[in-house]
Structure 1
Amino acid sequence: MGSTFGGLNTALTSLYAQRRGLDVTGQNIANASTEGYTRQRVVMQSQNANLVPGVYATTSAVGDGVTVSSVERLRNTALDHRSYTEHANSAFHNERAGAYNLIEDAFGEPSDTALQARLQDMWDGWNVVAANPSQKAPKSALLEQATTVAASLNDASAAMNRQYMATQSGLDTYVGEVNKTAASIAKLNQEIVVATQAGLQANELMDQRGQQILKLSEMVGATATDLPNGATSVYVGSAQLVSDFNVREIALKDPGALRLEDLGKGLDVELQWKDTGGTVVAGGTMGAQVETLSKDGILATMANRLDTVATTLAADVNSRHRAAFGMDGSTNQNFFEARNGRVDADGNPVVTAANITVNPALLADVDKLGVSSGNPRAATPEDRVLDGVTADALSDLADSRSGADAAYQALIGDLGVSAQSSIRRRDIQNAVTDQVDAARDSESGVNLDEEMTNLLTYQRGYEAASRVLTTIDSMLDQLINRTGLVGR
């Protein structure tokens, strides 16, 4: 038979349980807007009056009330891991699309002030000179137009080099962030394991760890595996970054390429493990940055193709200009030169997009500009020739299928196709990531309507338990203070 006072304990356990439910609900409501917070739920369990029942034991007790067995995190582990993967993919494609957008900005095509329009102005200038070979004004205008072409090539090359250095600097910053975040996860692992072994709840610590892992996935494409003791191992590629309480650090290969021209010196950009020197197979933002910065990457490819445009332009124009005569009778002069004065074994300037410039001697004296097929200053009048044949031939380079214009148009066309493809892949991946996040939030996010319902449930439960306690107290008062008073 149950104890006379047993009902007090039953009501008391209900008060404790309903109060715990109110506390957890309040915690959920307080963190409804907290990023990464996982809603929690109180798990209640009835207490058995017969903890160790005997074979022939009998009792009329109905139980010893209720207890809170645990406070659960309503988290779907599979969706968490899927989220890490999709966020890493989104970060990769966002960074890659951003790189293409910056390169497109460097060229600024199509535009009336971009390189394609400047090239056309220069070819038109040669056409005007061909029609007026003896006049200085068209020649001065042509040299100004050619200077603008060279400056446009210089600017585009400098813009890509600045983008390279900025991306490399950002990658170096991310390396420090990855190492710092990995150390934070290892510390949280230790705190969670200690708390779990002590029988304490570590839900908020697990939320913090999940946010740190998500951050790592976006930065370096990290994935995670849960361990039986409550810790989490974090991987980059197939290599462990965090194992229980231990951390491996990553670093940039030293020496590495800091500028675009360093790629031509045998240097490259590579992420390595500090302890072994092995290559880090990175994803996420850093994976895209390494791809962008590598010797076969986006920036190097576009810079090389822009150099080809400059080299082709200089070679085509110089070969014709050297054979032409200026008004002062000068000949065998280059129209384009390398700013640093570099020449090859044949004496031809080694021209790139970064160093191409118009021959300073022509800018100083327009009469040196080669336009005629013959010498206007020949010794005898009958040998003197002043025509615009060479200038006319140079203007025809605008339509050359193997000239600088064709190479530049192919570059811009390929860049546009690659950029558009990258943007489409980014948009598709971001849509997939949003879907995964929505599915995860539907399970782990706080719904205020649901929490208000729980709040009322626990409130009514607390009030009912209080009424039970009051009722039992009244019954005991009747039994203790009023029973047996008759006949006194």
Structure 2
Amino acid sequence: MGSTFGGLNTALTSLYAQRRGLDVTGQNIANANTEGYTRQRVVMHAQNANLVPGIYATTDAVGSGVTVSSVERLRNSALDHRSYTEHANSAYHNERAGAHALIEDVFGEPSDTALQARLQDMWDGWNAVAANPSQKAPKAALLEQATTVAASLNDAAGALNSQYESTRAGLETYVGEVNKTAASIARLNQEIVVATQAGLQANELMDQRGMQIQKLAELAGATATEMPNGATSVYIGSAQVVAEFNSRTIAIAQPAANRIEDLANYNVSLRWTDLPPEVSVDVGGTMGSQVELLARDGTLAGWSKRLDDVATTLATTVNSVHNGTALDADGNPMPAYGVDGSSGLDFFVERNGRVDADGRPVINAATITVNQDLLNNVDKLAVSSGDPTGQAPPGLKVLDGNRADALADLADSRTGADATYQQLIGDLGVASQSSIRRRDIQNAVTDQVDAARDAESGVNLDEEMTNLLTYQRGYEAASRVLTTIDSMLDQLINRTGLVGR
């Protein structure tokens, strides 16, 4: 049979439970705009009056109130893991699309001031020289236009190298962020396990850990697996970076390239600091895209090589005509002379005078420049097919402008610098558009996953206000029960047996 005073405890447990519900609801409302916060809910269980019933015992007790067994995080683990994956993919494609946009800015096509327009100005300059081979003004203008072309190539190569250096510095920063984040996750694992084993709630700590894991996923494509004791193991690629309370660190494998030209001797990759250097880290996310950009066969090196091809093609085709080594359609040499009878000069040269094993200039986009001898004396510009001084065989005094005209015709060559550059710009445009489309598609997928996760774990203020009223009314009702029982007990204790006295 139930105790006369048992109702007090039943009402009291209800007061405790409803107040806990109010506290949790208030916590949800307070963190409605907190990034990474997971909505919480109290789980109440009715208390049994017969916790250890006897075999033949009977009771008419209806229960002993209510208890809050736990405060749950309304989290869907499957959506969490999907979110880590999709955020890593979004970070990868965002970095990749951003890099292509910066590369497009380097070339700035189409534009009246970009390389294609400056090449056309140079070819028009050769036409002007061909029309007036004896005048110095068109030659001086041509040399200025050619200098501008070489400077444009130099600037583009320098801009690509600057992008490489900034990306390389960013990768160094992200390595430190990954190591710090992994250590933070390991520390949170320990705090959560200790709190859980002590019977305490660790929901806010779990939210912090989830944010750190998502950050690591965006940085390096990390994934996570829950352990039975409440800890979480985190992986980068197939290797474990956080194992319960311990974390590992990564570093850039040394020696590493710091500039594009360093890629001839070094590469850029990531390694585990506790493993041999040849064991690389298979990263995704932002860092995965950066490693692709910086690698020897990566994006920046590839476009830099394509730009070098333009510079090399320009120098080779122009020099072969200007120095008289080019052959005509019949395979005969095409001699070229300046007004002063000079010949055999290269129009474009290597800025630092470097040559390969065969003694040929190593000309690329960063080092191409116009021959200083021509800038000092425009009469050395090879514009004629015959020697104007009459000193060279066959001894004819000729100033015909044929070589200048042949140089102007290089603008229409299918294998010339213009065609090579136009192919580069076309391929860059296709690659950039592809990266933008993939980024937009991936971001849409990520937004959908985030929306699904927020619908389940995010705070809905309308719903919380309803819960607030529910717990408020429950608390008021429990208080009324307590008041009623108190009144009954007062009647029983203080007034029963006083009749007739």
What's the TM-score bracket when you normalise by the shorter of the two chains? over 0.9
Residue of structure 1 equivalent to 2:203: 203
SS of 2:291's equivalent in the other structure is: helix
AA at the equivalent of 1:237: G
TM-score where L is the length of structure 2? 0.96
Residue of structure 2 equivalent to 1:146: 146
TM-score where L is the length of structure 1? 0.99
Task: Identify if the C-alpha distance between structure 1 residues 382 and 320 changes in structure 2 by more than 3 Å, giving closer, same or farther.
Answer: closer
SS of 2:2's equivalent in the other structure is: coil
425, 436, 439: which one pairs with 2:449? 436
CA contact (8 A) 2:189 2:244 kept: yes
Q: Deviations over 1:429-470 (max 9, x none)?
A: 000000000000000000000000000000000000000000
SS of 2:369's equivalent in the other structure is: strand
CA contact (8 A) 2:236 2:283 kept: yes
AA at the equivalent of 2:284: G
| Distance in 2 between residues matched to 1:264 and 1:59, nearest whole Å | 88
Residue of structure 2 equivalent to 1:329: 341
| Distance in 1 between residues matched to 2:499 and 2:149, nearest whole Å | 120
Aligned ranges 1:163-312 → 2 under 5 Å: 163-265=163-265, 267-277=266-276, 278-312=279-313
How far the C-alpha of 1:264 sits from its partner, in A, is: 1.3
| Distance in 2 between residues matched to 1:314 and 1:294, nearest whole Å | 28
Q: Deviations over 1:300-341 (max 9, x none)?
A: 111001101101110111111112111111111010001011
Residue of structure 1 equivalent to 2:329: none
Residue of structure 1 equivalent to 2:24: 24
Residue of structure 1 equivalent to 2:161: 161
Aligned ranges 1:70-81 → 2 under 5 Å: 70-81=70-81
Q: Deviations over 1:275-306 (max 9, x none)?
A: 11311000000000000111111111110011
SS of 1:262's equivalent in the other structure is: helix
| Distance in 1 between residues matched to 2:472 and 2:307, nearest whole Å | 72
AA at the equivalent of 2:86: E
Residue of structure 1 equivalent to 2:428: 415
Is 1:384 paired with 2:385? no
AA at the equivalent of 1:447: N
Q: Deviations over 1:14-50 (max 9, x none)?
A: 0000000000000000000000000000000000000
| Distance in 1 between residues matched to 2:306 and 2:150, nearest whole Å | 15
How far the C-alpha of 1:132 sits from its partner, in A, is: 0.4
How far the C-alpha of 1:367 sits from its partner, in A, is: 0.8
| Distance in 1 between residues matched to 2:364 and 2:40, nearest whole Å | 63
Residue of structure 1 equivalent to 2:381: 369
Q: Deviations over 1:324-365 (max 9, x none)?
A: 111111111010001011123554321000000000111111
Task: Identify if the C-alpha distance between structure 1 residues 456 and 384 changes in structure 2 by more than 3 Å, giving closer, same or farther.
Answer: same
AA at the equivalent of 2:462: D
| Distance in 2 between residues matched to 1:344 and 1:140, nearest whole Å | 31
How far the C-alpha of 1:376 sits from its partner, in A, is: 1.0
| Distance in 2 between residues matched to 1:100 and 1:336, nearest whole Å | 30
| Distance in 2 between residues matched to 1:457 and 1:400, nearest whole Å | 82
| Distance in 2 between residues matched to 1:254 and 1:112, nearest whole Å | 43
How far the C-alpha of 1:378 sits from its partner, in A, is: 2.0
| Distance in 1 between residues matched to 2:75 and 2:494, nearest whole Å | 54
SS of 1:427's equivalent in the other structure is: helix
AA at the equivalent of 2:304: A
Q: Deviations over 1:383-435 (max 9, x none)?
A: 21111100000000001111111111111000000110010000000000000
Give unmatched runs, 5+ long, in structure 2.
325-335
Residue of structure 1 equivalent to 2:330: none
| Distance in 2 between residues matched to 1:303 and 1:238, nearest whole Å | 33
SS of 2:385's equivalent in the other structure is: coil
SS of 1:330's equivalent in the other structure is: coil
Q: How many residues align?
A: 487
How far the C-alpha of 1:379 sits from its partner, in A, is: 4.2
| Distance in 2 between residues matched to 1:420 and 1:103, nearest whole Å | 12
CA contact (8 A) 2:387 2:395 kept: no
456, 468, 472: which one pairs with 1:455? 468
Q: Deviations over 1:88-138 (max 9, x none)?
A: 000000000011001000000111100011111101110110010000110
AA at the equivalent of 1:302: W
| Distance in 2 between residues matched to 1:347 and 1:3, nearest whole Å | 109
Residue of structure 2 equivalent to 1:465: 478
SS of 2:345's equivalent in the other structure is: coil
Pick which of 378-387 and 459-468 moved more.
378-387
Residue of structure 2 equivalent to 1:111: 111
CA contact (8 A) 2:318 2:407 kept: yes
SS of 2:95's equivalent in the other structure is: helix
What is the Cα-based RMSD across aligned positions, in Å?
Answer: 1.1
Residue of structure 2 equivalent to 1:9: 9
Give unmatched runs, 5+ long, in structure 1.
none
AA at the equivalent of 1:216: L
Residue of structure 1 equivalent to 2:333: none
Pick which of 335-344 and 453-462 moved more.
335-344
SS of 1:75's equivalent in the other structure is: coil
SS of 2:264's equivalent in the other structure is: helix
Residue of structure 2 equivalent to 1:39: 39
How far the C-alpha of 1:487 sits from its partner, in A, is: 2.2
Residue of structure 2 equivalent to 1:57: 57
Identity of aligned residues (%): 79
SS of 1:138's equivalent in the other structure is: helix
| Distance in 2 between residues matched to 1:198 and 1:279, nearest whole Å | 40
| Distance in 2 between residues matched to 1:287 and 1:397, nearest whole Å | 42
Task: Identify if the C-alpha distance between structure 1 residues 252 and 345 changes in structure 2 by more than 3 Å, giving closer, same or farther.
Answer: closer
| Distance in 2 between residues matched to 1:66 and 1:410, nearest whole Å | 76
